[in-house]
Amino acid sequence: MSEVSRRRALGIGGALGLVAATGLSAAAAMARRPAVTGAELRSAVPLPPPYQVPLPIPATLEPVGEGRYEIVQRETTAEILPGIRTRLWTYAGTFPGPTIESRRGRPITVTHRNELPVPTVVHLHGGRTPAASDGYPTDLVLPKGWTGHGGHGMHDHRAVVTELTRDYTFPLDQRPTLLWYHDHRMDFTAPAIWRGLAGLHLVRDDAEEALGLPAGRRELPLMIADRAFAADGGLLYPSLDPALRERPGVTEPYLAGVLGDVILVNGAPWPVQEVDAARYRLRVLNASNARHYELEAVTDDGRRLDLVQVGADQGLLAAPVVHRLLPIAPAERYDLVVDFRGVPVGGRVRLLNRLGSGRTKDVMAFRVARRAADDSRVPAVLSTDLPAWRRSDAVRVRDLAFRTGRVHGGHGWLIGGLPFDPARADVTTGLGDVEVWRLVADVHHPVHLHLVGFRVLSRSGGPPLPHDARLKDTVSLRPGESVEIITRFDGYRGRYLFHCHNAEHEDMAMMANLEIT
Ligand code: C2O
Ligand code: CU
Ligand code: CU
């Protein structure tokens, strides 16, 4: 295959091919950027009409003792599409898994028991967690009597492998925000999340509760994820080894990312939520493997409602930021307030995805059921505890390129030209050091750092975008773009990670070690 046809086959032609072939500037390439990086699977079952299934709210996990939780990871069958049974891998029998509600600074321990047929490992995304509980990809929990090997990651002498169970301890000494927990097994994270291994974790504190933001029934977690369904009702996924035992990776058309043609919110297809004519707080997570969304809230008469952003990945902003359109990359979270008071009773507000086409344009809908009193507020000052790192505080500047390349003789995704290797310390930094990282991308790469939050300093030499505001733990690099971030490596010493959160890229080696000494 020629280089050009190979790129085409990989679905990564677009901007990348143009840059390589014609030397177009990054800006020109970006103007032609494809809306998504990845290829879409098509479901083989009839899909339900939108806005029929009520929005499920994941149950809150009950502690089994003071600060102690237990989760059994197991297979189950659930009705995701009406009338169709789907096999899932779950945390505690549901998809999404149960939500953990915790308080800032109150440590918890979660005992996970792996009753799935393959090794697993749990990561609390956005958590400030000691390395031993951070879910390093080779710190596997093996199923009882596991005989397979764990892929090349098993040659990692620092791995802490357990059989059947593992206790994860989370100090939660961090700003309140929406976190999520998901599988992070070496080479097999993408299909494991796809099968259902993802759940929410909310950290709260008194200061945030005192703000008067919409709460109780008027605070809704929204975990958005795309999936596709096979003729037998199971989830479609193009794994090379459908048992997820030995051979990682996906078939060639999906090397740039796996997209589904069904949009799920909290595990339901294009759901509908009845609301009061009042303000609501929406805790939005894009838990998709590779799909990017650009969200807008549109009334039946074509008006766009403001999406008032009050928080980012790592908690409250200093002040609200108003969006009409909000891009959200895999693993990003946005804390939004939407005001339904101007919508007539009986009216509907649809949450739409401007990057979608056909059925993937729809996400979910809200139906305004009644007038109601509303004493919630969106204060002009939301928080005053944000770090004030300046460029001049940085003791180091690093350049890190996120690009396609060869891995083990096949196609992969590389950071700084190298595929992930647990044995190599890619970045070594001192506890407490402030650093600036310059990240550059070929195609879309949502870049995530474990342990720390960061601020976006610039995009392609210009100012950050409005939705880059304040503390992030995942930043969306667009095709051809360079993004500068600044952070302080605070919290704990040990071996952490940074990686692309396009889950297929992550499994195909776009991950690196972050060693804090
Ligand atoms: Cu959400 Cu290392 O991942
Ligand atoms: Cu993470
Ligand atoms: Cu990527």
Distance between Cα 474 and ligand 1 center (Å): 9
Q: Dump the DSSP string for 116-178.
A: SSS-B-EEEET----GGGS--TT--EEPTT--S---GGGG-TT---EESEEEEEE---S---E
- Does residue 4 sit in helix, strand or coil? helix
Q: Which atom of ligand 1 is nearest to the CA of 331?
A: 1
Portions of the chain given CATH number 2.60.40.420: 3-17+49-208, 24-35+386-516, 216-371
Non-local (6+) Cβ contacts of 286 within 8 A are 224, 225, 292, 293, 328, 329, 330, 331, 332, 333
Percent of the chain with pLDDT over 70: 92
Answer yes or no: is pLDDT of 282 > 70.
yes
Q: What is the pLDDT of residue 148?
A: 79
pTM over 0.75: yes
pLDDT > 90: percent of the chain? 89
Interval 54-64 mean pLDDT = 98
At residue 494, the pLDDT reads 98
Residue 201 pLDDT = 98
Exposed, middle or buried: residue 164 (CB in 10 Å: 0-12, 13-18, 19+)?
middle
Q: For residue 393, what pLDDT is reported?
A: 98
- Nearest ligand atom owner, CA of 127: 2
CA 296 to chain centre: 19
**What spacing in Å lies between the alpha carbon of 347 and ligand 3's midpoint?**
39
Q: Which residues pair with 100 in a beta bridge?
A: 201
227 lines ligand 1 (CB under 6 A): no
Q: For strands 315-323 and 307-312, give the pairing.
A: antiparallel
The whole-number pLDDT of residue 15 equals 35
- Please tell me which residue, 318 or 19, carries the higher pLDDT value: 318
Number of H helices, E strands in the chain: 6, 35
- Atom of ligand 1 minimally distant from the CA of 511: 2
Q: Please report which confidence band the pLDDT of residue 155 belongs to, taking 50, 70 and 90 as the band edges.
A: confident
Task: Tell me the CATH number of domain 3-17+49-208, given options 2.60.40.420, 1.10.10.1100, 3.40.630.10, 3.40.50.10170.
Answer: 2.60.40.420
Rounded distance, CA 276 to CA 217, Å?
Answer: 10
Question: What pairing do the DSSP bridges indicate for beta strands 178-183 and 455-459?
Answer: unpaired
CA dist., res. 441 & res. 29, Å (int):
12
Q: Could you please state the CATH topology (level 3) that the domain comprising 216-371 is classified under.
A: Immunoglobulin-like (2.60.40)
Q: Residue 37, Cβ neighbours under 10 Å: how many?
A: 28
Helix, strand, coil shares of the chain as percentages rounded to 5?
10, 40, 45
Report d(CA 17, CA 334) in Å as an integer.
Answer: 32
Task: Give the mean pLDDT of the chain.
Answer: 93
Which structure tokens are listed for 107?
Answer: 């440590």
From the CB of 124, is ligand 1 less than 6 Å away?
A: no
CA of 508 to the centre of ligand 3 (A): 9
pLDDT of residue 27: 46
Name the CATH topology of 24-35+386-516: Immunoglobulin-like (2.60.40)
The atom of ligand 1 lying closest to the CA of 506 is 2
